[in-house]
A = this chain, B = another copy of it.
Amino acid sequence: MSTISKENYLKAIYQNLSLGVAATTSKLSNDLEVSNAAISDMAKKLSKEGLISYEKYKGMVLTKEGKKIALDVIRRHRLWEAFLAKVLGIPWGEVHNEAERLEHHSSEELINKIDEYLGYPDFDPHGDPIPRSNGNLPDAPKFIPLTKTKVGTAYKIARVNDKNTDLIRYFTKIGLKINGKLKVVDRLSFDDSLHVEINGRPFTFSEKIAANIFVNEYNPETEK
């Protein structure tokens, strides 16, 4: 049987794997803020239930069924984020924490109603793609980490990491928003910090901040 805890484990495994990061015991221990022993324990259970495949000391991979559950949890999470932001005007930096709890307590019918209400959106307020009810992700260009962009080039801001409320508040403050334009002015090789321009104003991002921002090619034709 699936529980809140198992949903969270599956989601965390999915999110690591989808970023190309191995779902190891220590990585998950860090992500989920529980001990290594707890991860090891749960890995056995999820494996026995056929939701992950797991060999001792080797990390975890989702089975088809495990992936389906993970995507469903993510769907619920992102739809809640979009819904709360749109209807209640909750700031995009704060919807994550609410969604983190609500995602485990909503019927499929409720989630589909929210989806319908929002007009079947493809992305949540942070630019993350929302899995459809059939489990597919909408097509979208692959996100480019701001850390890997070219100096002198303009990009479209496509996604920010949804997990840090304070950082997103700062983004709001400086006018950084999804689908906005960002120009990479310079990158200091000393610390990989970035000089960028947003709405004509200059800002400097540490590498750590830049790692939370993702962009796409900027296409002046399709933008206003």
Contacts and interface: CB of A to CB of B under 8 A. Distances in A.
Contacts of A105: 101-102, 104-105
Interface in A85-106: 87-90, 94, 97-98, 101-102, 104-106
A22 interface: no
Interface string A64-95: 00000000000000000000100111100010
Nearest to A114: B88
B90 A87 contact: no
A90 B110 contact: yes
A98 to B, nearest CB: 5
A108 to B, nearest CB: 11
Interface string A101-122: 1101111011001100100000
Main secondary structure of the interface of A (DSSP, over half): helix
Interface residues of A, number: 19
A215 B150 CA distance: 70
A131 to B, nearest CB: 20
Contacts of A114: 88
Given A88-B113, A114-B88, A107 B97 contact: yes
A107 B102 contact: no
22 contacts: A84-B110, A87-B87, A87-B117, A88-B110, A88-B113, A88-B114, A88-B117, A89-B113, A90-B110, A90-B113, A94-B109, A97-B107, A98-B106, A98-B107, A98-B110, A101-B105, A101-B106, A102-B102, A102-B105, A102-B106, A104-B105, A105-B105
Listed from nearest, the 6 A-B pairs whose CB atoms lie closest are A101-B105, A88-B113, A105-B105, A98-B110, A88-B117, A102-B105
Interface of A: 84, 87-90, 94, 97-98, 101-102, 104-107, 109-110, 113-114, 117
